[in-house]
């Protein structure tokens, strides 16, 4: 079967369940059972793009289907690596997994946006979509894409309620890390301006309660109060 024939070969995706052609769960192939098996696809491309096959394994399966090989035949052994290694998370396309509250442990507590996702019927560049449509941080988005790639079900709790997963919270957290009361060498003048107008009991309150959560609120309060 020539390269061109492999490229142009169309049929329905055979990956309607696990354990066909020797494909086992431990191969960690995403999107099985395939939800695109109702129409013919360019199988070679589909296997690489949707099921993350490496090119050699995709060709092997295309040839087997072309030759009417039985799905009971073990084309791949359990130790064969089938999926692509070093996948670029940024380039991975799939349908958005955030179709319901609680997917991967994401809840109301996390302040993510647009869940359930209104665009989940089409494939998207998942890493980017999770950030721009659902306000997830790049770190959280990457964690989800890697989970999808490794065939992790959405009921798996990747995140806990007190995890920071959104862009805004992460940005604020970065900002908090630069608290001027710690880094006085950086913000010396700013601190002087603030402290000049602070009442002593309020300073005591502040220093005793200077947690990540209330620091910025406190700062806003006395900036406005002493305007």
H or E segment and range at residue 123: strand 123-125
From the list 12-20, 66-74, 188-196, 219-227, the region that binds Zn ion by CB under 5 A is 12-20
62 interacts with Zn ion by CB under 5 A: no
CB-nearer residue toward Zn ion: 125 or 191: 125
Q: How far is the CB of 161 from Zn ion (least distance, A)?
A: 21
Minimum separation from the CB atom of position 4 to Zn ion (A): 22
SS3 at position 10: strand
Burial of 186 (0-12, 13-18, 19+ CB in 10 A): exposed
Residue 126 binds Zn ion (CB under 5 A): no
- Helices within the chain (DSSP H only): 3-8, 43-49, 55-66, 126-132, 138-149, 167-177, 184-196, 200-208, 212-225
Q: Is 75 in the site for Zn ion (CB under 5 A)?
A: no
43 interacts with Zn ion by CB under 5 A: no
96 sits near Zn ion (criterion: CB under 5 A): yes
Binding site for Zn ion (CB under 5 A): 13, 15, 34, 96, 98, 117
């Amino acid at each position: 079967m020539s390269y061109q024939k492999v490229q142009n070969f169309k049929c329905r995706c055979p990956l309607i369940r696990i354990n066909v052609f020797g494909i086992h769960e431990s191969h960690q192939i995403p999107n099985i059972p395939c939800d695109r098996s109702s129409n013919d696809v360019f199988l070679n491309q589909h296997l690489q793009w949707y099921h993350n096959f490496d090119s050699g394994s995709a060709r092997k399966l295309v040839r087997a289907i072309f030759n009417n090989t039985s799905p009971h035949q073990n084309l791949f052994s359990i130790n064969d690596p089938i999926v692509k290694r070093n996948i670029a998370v940024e380039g991975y396309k799939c349908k958005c997994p955030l179709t319901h509250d609680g997917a991967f442990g994401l809840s109301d507590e996390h302040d993510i946006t647009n869940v359930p996702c209104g665009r989940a019927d089409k494939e998207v560049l998942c890493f980017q979509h999770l950030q721009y449509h659902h306000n997830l941080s790049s770190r959280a988005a990457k964690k989800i894409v890697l989970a999808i790639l490794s065939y992790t079900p959405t009921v798996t709790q990747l995140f806990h309620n007190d995890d920071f997963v959104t862009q805004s919270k992460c940005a604020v957290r970065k900002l908090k890390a630069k608290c001027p009361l710690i880094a006085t060498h950086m913000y010396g003048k700013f601190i002087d301006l603030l402290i000049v107008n602070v009442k002593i009991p309020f300073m005591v309150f502040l220093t005793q309660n200077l947690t990540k959560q209330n620091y910025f609120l406190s700062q806003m309060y006395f900036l406005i109060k002493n305007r």
